Amino acid sequence: MHVSVQAEPFDAGAELNRFTAQVAGAGAVVTFTGIVRDTAGVLSGMEIEHYPGMTERAIRAMQNEATARWALCGCLVIHRYGALRVGEPIMMVATAAPHRAAAFEAAEFLMDYLKSRAPFWKKEQAAGGSDWVAAQDADETALCRWQKD
């Protein structure tokens, strides 16, 4: 398991290759990369704030939970903070497992939790000013499917 909370940009391709080379016994690797998007064509960038200490701790707890639920050979989370430009990767999740179902599910589980349980806050910057991104109800709903009875 690896966690990196960093200000620096990263190369998702290089990270994937490094991760794949390190996992033993994997038959499937799934990755997700989140990118700063500008659907309305008005953003100049994004600023991400986080809670140093708690962030790493919360992500590690998510990775532990994923490892307990699925037979994973490895799992990687990279998440940036600070100033980001449109088109740059924000974060990346990679999971490795003997078979693809576990790798896909664990990656989705980690993504759903990172969205609303890791202490990051996004602020979008445009020419007219900047605004905090509001949390979506759908993100909260997404967590329900992982809840155990």
CB of 35 to other proteins, least distance (A): 11
Q: Is 53 in the site for other proteins (CB under 8 A)?
A: yes
Q: How far is CA 34 from the centre of its chain?
A: 7
What strand order describes the sheet that includes 2-6?
A: 2-6, 74-80, 89-97, 28-35
Number of residues lying near other proteins (CB under 8 A): 26
Collapsing DSSP to helix, strand or coil, 112 comes out as helix
Stretch that binds other proteins, among 6-14, 20-28, 100-108, 134-142 (CB under 8 A): 134-142
Q: Is 49 in the site for other proteins (CB under 8 A)?
A: yes
Q: How far is CA 42 from the centre of its chain?
A: 24
CB of 21 to other proteins, least distance (A): 26
CB 97 within 8 A of CB 70: yes
Q: Extract the tokens encoding 140.
A: 């909260």
Task: Report the DSSP beta bridge partners of residue 131.
Answer: 124
Stretch that binds other proteins, among 7-15, 20-28, 101-109, 112-120 (CB under 8 A): 112-120
Residue 121 DSSP one-character state = E
Q: Is 35 in the site for other proteins (CB under 8 A)?
A: no
Q: Is 34 in the site for other proteins (CB under 8 A)?
A: yes
Residues that bind other proteins (CB under 8 A): 34, 49, 51, 53-54, 57-58, 79, 90-91, 111, 114-123, 132-135, 140
